[in-house]
Structure 1
Amino acid sequence: MPYPEEPVTSVPIVTGVRAPAADRRPRKAAVAAAAGTAIEYYEFGVYGYLAVVIGPHFFPGDDPTASLLATLAVFGSAFLMRPLGGIVLGRLGDRVGRKPVLILTVVGMGSATAAVGMLPSASTIGLAAPLALLVVRLAQGFFAGGEVTGSATYLAESAPPGKRGLYGAFTPVGVAVGGGTAALVAGVTATALTDAQLESFGWRVPFLLALPLIVVALLARRSLEDSHAFTASAEPPAKAPLTEVFTRHRDSVLKVTLLAVGSNCGYWVGLIYMNIYLTSDLGYATSSTFWIMGGISLFVAFLMPVAGALSDRFGRKKMITIGFLGYAVLVVPAMLVMGLGSFPLAVAAMVVLALPMPIVQSVTYPTYAELFPTRVRYTGLSFAFNIGTIVGGGLTPYLVTWLISTTGDLLVPGYVLMFAVVVALLTLRTVRETGREELS
């Protein structure tokens, strides 16, 4: 029998009695979705945090900036595969179900991540080394194209009525936990090893740790049932989901894309790139920066369900507006404080700069899902979000590094983030309030 649309409220809660299956289902969905998304962003985080270290192994040369740019270019290449992955995996998700695709993505992402730690360097196989790194990164990007969007789709369709913001926040919780774990693992590795050991073999360890993470995610996802919205839909699956998205939902594609540019720029510039800014540009200790980034990411993850629940009460648009405005107001002053030469002040500035993140990340994901109907939700969300991710996430680390090297202005990341936020705020004005609507 299908699960009821409303949560059971007539049965009293008795200590020692297990909750009804319909009540446990959204909680299991939240944990499973967060676990898989954590693997995706663990990988992207590890690569971003260790870019300075691994660059010379695959792009040796006398110019460290050129090596870093080449490493970030390969980092960005994975994002170019995300729309293709989103189209292929999204189509599968809309036709055969959310669960099997979510299992496929977590295995593909984790395997590709571990493969990075096994690649020989340029000193061993020459030009084949950067080529192999590129191939693995493209594979990572393909599977990532269906992971976080599949998680957002599944949670939106599994949440109890009136709580999509709360449960939908667990997709970005996985993002923050994955990125925070990446920073902490990088910090432990950098602290436990000497600089020579880190550069020789230590950088491989964080990538190889993706293997046990695959097992954890599979254990969380194997017992899930498919989302009620998908299984209970009276409409047959779309024969050509992408065609239907572009013929009937072009406005939603554009809105999600532009909002995703702002939210991804906030994450990749406001957190991941700041690691490069603090270490390469400002000269702070690498290991200390890793610890700070990890702590901030976990702090942000703790706040995300709170922000998601507030969006259920006060509306998605109000909360997203507050978050984007926070980025616009805080980013340049925070970067100026970071440049004063005091590490404690730099830490305080990073904490302040991270405050808009739980709001923007936790509330945009359920909003994206709410803008598409169940019939093509996975495909529409995957394509639109991944295009926004290319611009806001894949290109920005390379762009700001190149602009800094060209202009000498260390505040360039702040200006880029402010521009992306303005675009997102203008787009938000055209988005309807979806927090209190039923999923179409």
Structure 2
Amino acid sequence: MKSLPTTVEDNGGTGSEQSFPANANPGGAGPAADAEAARRRPRRAAIAAAAGTAIEYYEFGVYSYLAVIIGPHFFPSDDPTASLLATLAVFGSAFLMRPLGGIVLGRLGDRVGRKPVLILTVVGMGTATAAVGLLPTAGTIGVGAPIALLLVRLAQGFFAGGEVTGSATYLAESAPRGKRGFFGAFTPVGVALGGGTAALVAGITTTVLSERQLDAFGWRIPFLLSLPLIAVALLARNRLEDSETFLAKKSEKATAKAPLTEVLTQHRAQVLKVTLLAIGSNCGYWVGLIFMNIYLTTDLGYSKSSTFWIMGGISFFVACLMPICGGLSDRWGRKRLITIGFTGYAVLVVPAMLVMGLGSFPLAVAAMVVLALPMPIVQSVTYPTYAEMFPTRVRYTGLSFSFNIGTIIGGGLSPYLATWLIASTGNLLSPGYLLMGAAVMALLTLRTVKETSRAELA
């Protein structure tokens, strides 16, 4: 089988030559069957990517939504804020493992293949999520409880380090010509669906169960529900084939022998750009949506169950908009859409928080909807942009390493910093200034990024 080479112009400053099979016709199936298989491949990739990423953000979402409830079980304290901060610190610890997971799993992805690593991440993340629901509490084993929680969170963070970035890599390499933005948006669709499902499960749990039941056993249920999600994701991902772009490199023996070394020596500029953009996009998600749950319930006193329902609804609304925004970036360009999104965060966050603080829940809901509008733009368009900035031979490693460094700051630390800023300054708007700063930094970084929507990967 011969391959036709196609040269890439420039993916973030590094040209790369990639190839794909000129005539994928196994067993003489015929051109019509080949064409149908080619049409189906991106759709399967999109579904599988969204399913796995949904598990990752389901777990992170459940943990953050229930942080106020589970905190006293692992960090008993007379001060509720101290207990919450300790719980959020453990939440952030999972992000510290993500770069290590990104390095190890990214290397496997660039050396062995995308598909086996994406299956491994789903099993690892789902198992760690379910384990949280089985942990004994501090009332049972004392100091061993928070240690066990920390270890499980670290394991979850390790596998998460190769999940969303592997999904973005696979979709970028599997998407049809001119549609990488549209299909690449299904990675953050999984983010939104996972977070939305977490909010709805938390809402149902807190509505159906009494406070006593919730405290006794109910908080465990959302974590254990990750087990059926693993089965769904595995079913979707087991049907995948590895991307033709990667397989062509592997057949040519052109895969990187030391992907991380190559990334850090030849693609430092891309690493820095992706890291800074990832800080902004993660801060937009974790402060602009997830932390707002804590803000509305703990700081403003709104009903927990009602807030969970609203957060779930907003997440699903955002998920529906993401493929539209991704498709628009194929036509209008990535940089233009991302600029609109980050500008929206910088302009809207403080006015939205002011409206939330007026004491009217309907107005607070309206403000949350408005604040969420930049999210589908930023989330859907940045993921394919990240993938387009690295060449095939080190794409998984480069994206995993740089994105996960940005995730530590923008995702792992931001809910803790937002809570700490309110407790330290007494200013309820301080998390808004945190998000504004991250958005402005991302906008400045974006000025140095080349437009990649029309650069061909293969």
Maintained 8 Å contact 1:76/1:395: yes
The Cα RMSD (Å) is: 1.5
Unaligned residue ranges in structure 1 (runs of 5+):
8-13
Which of 4, 14, 30 is residue 46 of structure 2 equivalent to? 30
Cα offset, 1:5, TM superposition: 7.4
1:223, CA displacement in angstroms? 1.1
Match of 1:156 among 172, 193, 204: 172
- 1:365-416 deviation line (CA, Å, top 9, x unaligned): 0000000000000000000000000000000111111111010000011000
1:367 to 368, 374, 385: 385
In structure 2, distance between residues paired with 1:318 and 1:229: 28
1:203 is the counterpart of 2:253: no
- Mapped pair 1:227 → 2:267: no
SS at 2:452's partner residue?
coil
Say if 2:107 is the partner of 1:91. Answer: yes
Query: How far 1:277 moved relative to its partner?
Result: 0.1
Aligned equivalent of 1:414, options 432, 436, 453: 432
Q: How far does residue 439 in structure 1 lie from its aligned partner after superposition?
A: 1.7
- Among 159, 162, 186, the residue aligned to 1:146: 162
Structure 2: distance between partners of 1:168 and 1:110: 23
Report the AA paired with residue 224 of structure 1.
L
Query: Would you say how many aligned residue pairs link Structure 1 and Structure 2?
Result: 432
Counterpart of 1:400 in structure 2 is 418
The equivalent position to 1:187 in structure 2, one of 203, 212, 219, is 203
Give, in angstroms, the shift of residue 203 of structure 1. 0.5
What secondary structure does 1:45 align onto? Answer: helix
TM-score normalised according to structure 1 size: 0.96
Are residues 1:300 and 2:341 paired?
no
8 Å CA contact 1:368, 1:381 repeated in 2: yes
Q: d(CA) in 1 for partners of 2:347 and 2:216?
A: 41
Q: What do the CA deviations read for 1:305-347 (whole angstroms, capped 9, x no partner)?
A: 0000000000000000000000011000000000000000000
Which of 434, 437, 440 is the equivalent residue of 2:455? 437
Displacement of 1:228 in angstroms is 1.1
* CA deviations over 1:40-73 (Å, ceiling 9, x no partner): 0000000000000000000001000000000000
Is 1:335 the counterpart of 2:371 in the alignment? Answer: no
Q: How far did residue 18 of structure 1 move?
A: 11
Per-residue CA distance 1:200-221 (angstroms, 9 max, x = gap): 1100000000000000000000
Q: Distance in 2 between matches of 1:18 and 1:90?
A: 30
Could you list the structure 1 runs, at least 4 aligned residues long, displaced by more than 4 angstroms after superposition.
Answer: 1-7
Alpha-carbon distance in structure 1 between the residues aligned to 2:206 and 2:34: 44
Per-residue CA distance 1:264-290 (angstroms, 9 max, x = gap)? 000000000000000000000000000
**Distance in structure 1 (CA, Å) of the matches to 2:48 and 2:22:** 21
Give matches, 1:79-118, under 5 Å. 79-118=95-134
Letter in 1 for 2:201: V
Structure 2: distance between partners of 1:139 and 1:6: 42
Q: Summarize the Cα distance change of 1:346–1:212 in structure 2 as closer, same or farther, 3 Å threshold.
A: same
Q: Which amino acid aligns with 1:53?
A: I
Find the counterpart in structure 2 of residue 10 from structure 1: none
Q: Distance in 2 between matches of 1:19 and 1:374?
A: 24
Distance 1:127 1:433 in 2: 51
Which residue of structure 2 lines up, in the alignment, with residue 239 of structure 1?
257
The gaps in structure 2 that reach 5 residues or longer are: 4-19, 25-31
Does the 8 A contact of 2:21 with 2:244 survive in 1? Answer: no
> Does structure 2 conserve the Cα–Cα contact (< 8 Å) formed by 1:235 and 1:375?
no
1:268 is paired with a residue whose SS is helix
**Take 1:126 and 1:387, find their aligned partners in 2: how far apart are those partners?**
33
Residues 270 and 389, structure 2, Cα contact 8 Å, conserved in 1:
yes
Equivalent of residue 362 in structure 2, options 341, 344, 368: 344
Paired residue secondary structure (2:162): helix
